[in-house]
Amino acid sequence: MKKLLLFLLLTTIIQVQAQQKPNIVLILADDLGIGDIGPYGQQKISTPNLDKLADAGMKFSNFYAGTSVCAPSRSSLMTGQHTGHTYVRGNKEIEPEGQEPLADSIRTFAMILQEHGYKTGAFGKWGLGMVGTSGDPNRKGFDEFFGYNCQRQSHRYFPTHLWHNDKRVELEGNDLTKMATYAPELIQEQTLAFLDKNKDQPFFLFVPTVLPHAELTGPEDEFFKKYEHAFTEKPHKGNDYGPNATVPGYASVAKPRATFAAMVSRMDHYVGEIMDKLAQLGLTENTIIIFTSDNGAHREGGADPVFFNSTAGLKGFKRDLYEGGIRTPMIVKWSGKVAANSTSDHVSAFWDILPTVQAIVGDKKTENTDGISMLPTLLGKGKQQQHDQLYWEFHEDGGRQAVRYKNYKLIKFKVKDPNNSYFELYDLEKDPQEKNPIKNEKLSKKLLKLIETEHVESAIFPLLR
């Protein structure tokens, strides 16, 4: 009897110690502009749950994505390296399904969390390696994955299939001619189930939702009805479901503005469901919630970011290295640790997440990262190290590179054609909307040299040759 009591006591102590490690929930929206949600000034779309999250946490005003398109931005997030160093630097497709996989040698911060006893799950869109490759999410730090492995497949919200780890999940009624099963609903169900299954141990929940990425479509439920008659509309013609439908296409939409607004509100509702589930399980106090987006606002499929002021007045959209293409929302809630209803102008980026996670869990290993822990800013304690510069690159449209140094930003265009390349220099403090390029030869030379230094050529994703 004494041995049994001792065993139960030790088990309880171990469980309590384990639970002292904070759970981490990272929600990554897809193509959501910084101005698309209430905490950053959105007026036409209701986002009460994100408003609530911001009221309870810290909002960042100078946070940047890895770059202005999906796969390389997500690679930057996972690896803690900017796009001049990270392994995946473009949307390189493989057939019949998937993208260029992360190599075996690449460590993600999810792998670090696994080493510290976390159960890990990813639910949504992956895009960093097909099932069975070196970039399979199950090989990159996730005990469970459910959703779109291939980002090309995620162009459709009524896809033929999803993936649950290495099992292909056929979606009944979806064959690209009929729209029966709405994938985000299934993914959300699995997201909430992960919380139920892992409530008694430290966990990392990664939610790379496909919302509100084009195509603009969804059930005509309460989210759509809220906006159905709210805006003047112009129908958008697309690649419709039917005998001629292709996977990488966007369906026509009769009311694109209402549909986009409904998708943002649906995403907000899913955030609220995650928060409610954490509260029901008694996990609110010991869970860090991070919300951000993979790049700036998109214009595909009938989306109208100008109408919604999706960039909050910033110049550029998805695929641009102007602020509107790479500056994203970032909200962090950690009850009792992060000051509620606070705002930080600390300049930070996707590659800071990995060292921040390391600091949170006390990981002492040296990682090959361009990031800096944001923990001093989050906790309001200690000295916050600052970046000397931030760097981005984009491999399409002739190639672009950009660097932010203090309040200055230089963007270089047509880098794949050196004879015709040019640059623009901005003072973001005086001109945050990048309306008026400035001339400063000495500073320009310095920033062009930084661009040259920060880029390391990749054999798989060559930029300069």
CATH number at residue 103: 3.40.720.10
Q: Is residue 325 part of a domain?
A: yes
Residues 401 and 300 in one domain: no
Q: Which domain holds residue 433?
A: 397-454
User: Looking at residue 465, what is its pLDDT?
Assistant: 76
Apex 91 CA angle, 87 and 92, nearest 5: 80
- Please report how the helices 183-197 and 256-280 are oriented relative to each other, as an axis angle in degrees rounded to 10: 10
Give every CB contact of residue 174 below 8 A, 6+ residues apart in sequence. Answer: 158, 159, 160, 161, 180, 181
The four Cα atoms 453, 33, 337, 122 give a dihedral, to 10 degrees, of: -80
Task: Check whether residue 159 and residue 292 sit in a common domain.
Answer: yes
Q: State whether 345 and 446 are in the same domain.
A: no
Count of CB atoms situated within 10 Å of the CB of 15? 12
In a domain, 464, yes or no: no
For residue 12, the model assigns a pLDDT of 39
Domain end position, chosen among 341, 371, 390: 390
Q: What is the dihedral of CA 32, 35, 41, 44, to 10 degrees?
A: -70
Report phi then psi at 322, rounded to 5.
Answer: -65, 165
For residue 88, what are its two tokens? Answer: 């995946």
Are both 301 and 431 inside the same structural domain? no
Assigned domain for 32 exists: yes
Question: Of 390, 412, 438, at which residue does a domain stop?
Answer: 390
Q: Do the domain assignments include residue 10?
A: no
pTM above 0.85, yes or no: yes
Report the C-alpha gap between 394 and 399 in whole angstroms. Answer: 6
Same domain as 277, residue 301: yes
Question: Judging by beta carbons within 10 Å of its beta carbon (0-12, 13-18, 19+), is residue 137 exposed, middle or buried?
Answer: buried
Longest dimension (CA), the chain: 83
Per-residue pLDDT of the chain (465 residues; tens, 9 = 90+): 555 444 444 443 344 444 589 999 999 999 999 999 999 999 999 999 999 999 999 999 999 999 999 999 999 999 999 999 999 999 999 999 999 999 999 999 999 999 999 999 999 999 999 999 999 999 999 999 999 999 999 999 999 999 999 999 999 999 999 999 999 999 999 999 999 999 999 999 999 999 999 999 999 999 999 999 999 999 999 999 999 999 999 999 999 999 999 999 999 999 999 999 999 999 999 999 999 999 999 999 999 999 999 999 999 999 999 999 999 999 999 999 999 999 999 999 999 999 999 999 999 998 899 999 999 999 999 999 999 999 999 999 999 999 999 999 999 999 999 999 999 999 999 999 999 999 999 999 999 999 999 999 999 999 997
Does 371 share its domain with 402? no
52: Cβ contacts below 8 Å, ≥ 6 apart:
272, 275
415 and 302 inside one domain:
no
Distance of CA 68 to the CA centre of its chain: 11
- Indicate whether 4 belongs to any domain: no
The tokens of 366 are what? 């040296």
Same domain, residue pair 227 and 103:
yes
* Residue 3 domain-assigned (yes or no): no
Nearest to 346 by CA among 314, 384, 379, 311: 384
How many other β-carbons are positioned within 10 Å of the β-carbon of residue 459? 6
Assess contact for 29 and 292: CB atoms under 8 A. yes
Cis bond before residue 212 (omega within 30° of 0): yes
**Whether residue 407 sits in one domain with residue 314:** no
Among candidate residues 390, 405, 424, the one where a domain is terminated = 390
Helix axes 70-79, 353-361, angle to 10 degrees: 30
Let me know whether 447 and 366 are in one domain. no
Q: 30: which residues sit within 8 A by CB, 6+ positions away?
A: 70, 124, 125, 154, 208, 209, 210, 211, 212, 213, 293, 294
In a domain, 166, yes or no: yes
**Cα–Cα distance for residue pair 56/338, rounded to 1 Å:** 9
Assess whether 345 and 422 both reside in one domain: no
Q: Are residues 334 and 450 in the same domain?
A: no
Evaluate whether residue 90 is within a structural domain.
yes
Burial of 371 (0-12, 13-18, 19+ CB in 10 A): buried
Query: CA–CA separation, 194 vs 188, rounded Å?
Result: 10
Counted domains in the chain: 2
